[in-house]
Amino acid sequence: MFSATKFTPTPRKIRREKTVVSSSSSDIDKDPVYVFCRLRPLQENVDSHSCMTLLSPQEICISNESKGIRRDVFYKFKHIFTAYASQTEIFDHIGYPLLTDLLKGKNGLLFAYGVTGSGKTYTLTGDHNNPGLIPMCIDTLFNSIGDLQTPKFIIKSDRMNGFEIQTEEDASMDRLAENRSKNMGNVKKLNREKFFINNGKMIPVFNENNAFAVFISYIEIYNNNVYDLLDESNNGKTLQNKILREDPNCNMYVNGVVEVEVKTAQEAFELFIIGQKRKKMAYTSLNSESSRSHSVFNIRIAQLEKLPVNADGKPIIPEKNLLTVSQLRVVDLAGSERSSRTQNTGARLREASAINNSLMNLRTCLEVLRENQRTKTNKVVPYRDSRLTYLFKNYFEGDGSVQMIVCVNPSVNDLEENLHVMKFAEMTQGVKVLKSEPRCIPISTSKKVISKRNGTPAKINKKTLFSLTPEIPMFKFDFNQRDECKSSIDNLLGVLKHLKSESSTSELDKINKELRKRLVDIDNHRVLDKAENRNLKQLLQREQTKNANFETKINQIETKYGNLSEKYKESQEIIRSLHNTVNEKDLKLNQHLLEKEHIKQKHALANEKKDQELQDKLKKQRGHFTAEIFAKEIKLKKAREALDSEVIVNPENIRESENIPPLSTPKKPSSSDCYKRNGGYTPRRRSKSCDEVWLEHNSIKPVPLGTVLQPSMKKRKSVTKLTKASDVTNPKQSKYCLLAQEQDTDGEIETKLYKGDILPTTGGGAQVIFNDVERLRQQSPTSNGK
């Protein structure tokens, strides 16, 4: 239990860098770490089905299905609270026993552990209409002690884990200074939010002759630094980092922490709400108000025997008294989380790393403790690796009971995290701590001892003044009266003869024994300190040797690093020059490829243009052929009608009626232009009449082929575009020739001449009837083409 006063310190043990727990104590003198479990209700439309099944109030089953194989894991707890458990039920099982031990003078430590968003903060804090464990503990505590409280500032905290006992005059001066500062507005106005608690529970006080003083403190451990949430010295600025220290009784405390004495539950609620608003909270993907630090709410009670009152009703501090100090610490651990689920970055990621490291160190300490207890070994417990474990190391060494409530979200989405939490809870239950007993500290004081020094109450001394001689009475010597002076001298001699009395001798022997004992203890400590110093010197020499070796290695490594840096620079230059060469070659290749691609695109565009022109020409020719066929069908129809009417009609009359010019009698071709076949004459394909006039239609500029054979038309009229009807209806023109060029299948240019006759129509126009196509192309004599 934490000591309560700043008395003369008793001889203390040698401080070790890391604390170990002896395994020699019997298990009868130990209590296990009680672990409770609370299940959070599943959220609608967010959480999936539950992966947990409650078998009994002490046992739960977790079902894990992987690759079609179902595995059930069973875990046992001190008690399991279902999703329908109320805050009052949790207080009855956990808070009420802790408060009972607190009033008995025993210390208590309660952890709330779980993943982010599992309900730890709600279990400890709750809300205004449904308060949690901490508000209910405060309300029950003040319901129990009632009027059994000391006047304010009679017991005063020295902010170094100790207390001072003040006289009524000093306490009244402190109360007056507090009221004056409140009236002047120097004290920040407290928040007036309230918790609505109607349980009305009380704990019977075991010793009604004691008076109680309740002190509240609130700290947080953020990024492995300790901050005081009730510190008003910075005027709302950034909180200052506090350091951890050991008091003379080897108990850990936060140096300079603010401990506020409260007399009502409402005052404690206001301080608790102020600390809650100063905690580090942030939004994460798993929890909109996630705690980013470990918070520790501390309730400290100092019990003092009731002070007698004088005639004025003011308490009188006796010369001897007993002071009992106990405290209850409730720790809201930050939730363990994985960055793969929270997607934290930046400051949130650094906070999560610090949280996970501290929780991992807590688990390591508990594992070492359990191994020491099971195997009867004495391994070093690494409390100092984290502020969290270093602050509570006294509890694991038997300075109070340790309990834990594990909050779990039974959703199957949190299955993996829940398995880790359950394994940690199972391991924690295997740790046992020594049973703690209340310790009363004797106080001896006197009104003369309590004084004012520079405005600060003096500390109470443990020992009163002591005299080695009995009290000598006062003698009055009157040398004018010899008889009276002689009798006074005789009386003084008689008193001096009895200086060495039995009482003084026994008291002197007692003091000599105590002094000898202290000297022996001091000598033992001196020997131990000397041995420890010798060991430390040896360690220092080893470390110095290691440092010298490391420095030599560092110099060698730096030399190698310099050489490698030079080689690296040279290789970088070579690589850079090679990259430049490769880039130049790539640039040339790209330019060549671009030119080729550009030429291909030009040829493709030219071919597309030619194809389009040919298609347009073919469409026009199809139109002409269709018109000619239609005209012939009309003539045939009329001829059939004439035949059907069996009327002989003169062809000349038909021509006259249709305004068709008479057909000229064809001349007999000459022997040079004709050849006889089947008893008649057939004109040659390339024969030309001297009277024929050709209409040469060149829609494109022909490309000269360089061949011997060339188109030959003596009488011709060349046009590039038929813009006027007179170009075709000219009676002097009887032949039509359309000139076109295209590539054949072998890629060679081929010239085509589409030849036809120009015939007049009945409407006074003219039509072209195509009757021949001439092709002119070059061909290799060795090719296989026909």
Q: Using CA atoms, how far apart are residues 469 and 663, in angstroms rounded to an integer?
A: 178
Q: Is 469 annotated as a binding residue?
A: no
Q: Using CA atoms, how far apart are residues 138 and 125, in angstroms rounded to an integer?
A: 12
Give the helix ranges, DSSP H, for 82-159.
Answer: 87-90, 96-103, 120-124, 133-145
H/E segment holding residue 620:
helix 502-645
Q: Using CA atoms, how far apart are residues 100 and 91, in angstroms rounded to an integer?
A: 12
- Do residues 450 and 170 touch, judged by C-beta distance below 8 A? yes
Query: How many C-beta neighbours within 10 Å does residue 725 have?
Result: 11
Going by their DSSP bridges, the two strands 735-743 and 694-698 should be labelled as parallel
**Cα end-to-end span (Å), the chain:** 118
- What are the φ/ψ torsions at residue 666 (nearest 5 degrees)? -65, 145
DSSP 8-state code for residue 717 = E
Q: Is 120 annotated as a binding residue?
A: yes
State the amino acid at position 287 in one-letter form: N
CB-based contacts of 713: which residues, under 8 Å, 6+ apart?
Answer: 688, 694, 696, 737
Taking CB atoms within 8 Å and a gap of at least 24, the contacts of 283-287 are 284/116, 284/337, 284/342, 284/344, 284/348, 285/341, 285/342, 285/343, 286/115, 286/116, 286/117, 286/337, 286/341, 286/342, 287/116, 287/117, 287/335
Q: Is 146 annotated as a binding residue?
A: no
Q: Is 76 annotated as a binding residue?
A: no
Burial class (CB in 10 A: 0-12, 13-18, 19+), 654: middle
- Do residues 110 and 98 touch, judged by C-beta distance below 8 A? yes
Q: Is 313 annotated as a binding residue?
A: no
Name the one residue in this structure whose structure tokens are 């959703």: 411
CB-based contacts of 752: which residues, under 8 Å, 6+ apart?
Answer: 739, 740, 741, 742, 773, 774, 775, 776
| Nearest of 80, 190, 78, 90 to residue 130 by alpha carbon | 90
CB-based contacts of 84: which residues, under 8 Å, 6+ apart?
Answer: 41
| Nearest of 369, 298, 269, 294 to residue 107 by alpha carbon | 298
Q: What is the dihedral of CA 713, 716, 720, 722, to 10 degrees?
A: -130
Q: Using CA atoms, how far apart are residues 397 and 436, in angstroms rounded to an integer?
A: 10
Q: Using CA atoms, how far apart are residues 254 and 403, in angstroms rounded to an integer?
A: 22
Q: Is 679 annotated as a binding residue?
A: no
| Nearest of 177, 105, 175, 97 to residue 137 by alpha carbon | 97
User: What b-and-e string marks burial along 175-194, b requiring 16 or more CB atoms within 10 Å of the CB?
Assistant: eeeeeeeeeeeeeeeeeeee
User: What b-and-e string marks burial along 523-536, b requiring 16 or more CB atoms within 10 Å of the CB?
Assistant: eeeeeeeeeeeeee
Q: Is 444 annotated as a binding residue?
A: no
Q: Using CA atoms, how far apart are residues 286 and 2, in angstroms rounded to an integer?
A: 39
CB-based contacts of 393: which residues, under 8 Å, 6+ apart?
Answer: 19, 252, 381, 383
Q: Using CA atoms, how far apart are residues 394 and 183, in angstroms rounded to an integer?
A: 41
- Do residues 394 and 19 touch, judged by C-beta distance below 8 A? no
Q: Using CA atoms, how far apart are residues 98 and 203, in angstroms rounded to an integer?
A: 11
DSSP 8-state code for residue 778 = -
- Do residues 383 and 393 touch, judged by C-beta distance below 8 A? yes
Return binding residues: 114-121
Binding residues for ATP: 114-121
